[in-house]
Structure 1
Amino acid sequence: MRKTINTLSAAVVAAGMGTAASAAVVDLIGDKDCFGTGGACAEGSALPGWGVVTQGVGDPAFTDIHTFSGGTTSWTHSFGAGAYTGGTLSIRTAGIADIAGPYDVLVDGVSVGMMPFDGFGHILVETFTFAVDASLLADGMAMVSFDSSSGDSWAIDYSELTADMSAIPVPASLPLLGGALLFGGWVARRRRKG
């Protein structure tokens, strides 16, 4: 009996010492439809020509469209203010920075990385993933932008921002509550015997 109570008490205390799993908030702009083809694109694969890139009615203006004019491309992720610990930005592209580049990717005006010049000159599917500092996520808005060169033909399938939140600590009273329940059970059992 005593061994059982000690084992249960230790289990309750150990369970109360951890933290809950951290959560992530994901904001997807565009859709993962292989540039409007309705299929799936393997990383590094070539699209069967620019004619297959098809923008649907509900697609954001910068996705699923063949672009070759230079200038600034920008969009804003909106995901709610919070205590974020950092995040990642993933942009699925085809053909970008093939004949020009590198292109500096900015979040709220701060560089998070580059889309390097690769010199391929054809339509390869590539996903660029960048780490995003927590200070850029706290307000729940992240404006993403980059400047491209005229003549570099490319398309964006989607942009996905994942903002990681702090782990939620288990309340300190949980082990005390567990201990009180065990003690109450022990007292009730002794009363029945005695």
Structure 2
Amino acid sequence: MKKFEEKTISSEKVFTGKVISLQVDDVELPDGKTSKREIIKHPGAVAIIAVTSDNKIIMVEQYRKALERSLVEIPAGKLEKGEQPILSAERELEEETGYVCEKMEHIISFYTSPGFADELVHIYVAHNLKKKENAAPLDEDEFVEVIELTVEEAQTYIDEGKIQDAKTAYAVQYLQLKKVMTS
């Protein structure tokens, strides 16, 4: 038995959408009592820390309906069914920014909200970026503006609340701590 394991008694799928599904599980708690858990199932995602040769972080600004506002974020996207995360990272970098890279390096994977969702985000660093002439197009329902910021400008965006996204704040801190600018 896993420490503090909650055994599933029953599970009901409540909603299945394009990106997520929602299920409600009845669980037995470690003390023998029961409870309900609302769980979001997500296919996983990738995010890319991409820095240009002149030490600018490539970001995108896009509208986030759940927040009813635009956010500045590092390029990211969900995994397609059966897609390897590194291939997803390469695809998303090109689609969202028009850049390709010589090397994609995995640095960490983390759960975004493990209290209610199983979304696992894989963070990559893109090395040796090149702007592609005929880059892959954005998804038909996706609208983004590419922004290039220095680490200092990105920190100012965090301080001003223009960056409030965890993966992007992580990326800025990563660059500050590792000083992994152009490589």
**Which has more strand, going by share of residues?**
2
Q: TM bucket by the smaller chain?
A: under 0.3
Pick the structure with greater CA Rg: 1
Q: Tell me the TM-score normalised to structure 2 length.
A: 0.21
Q: Tell me the TM-score normalised to structure 1 length.
A: 0.20
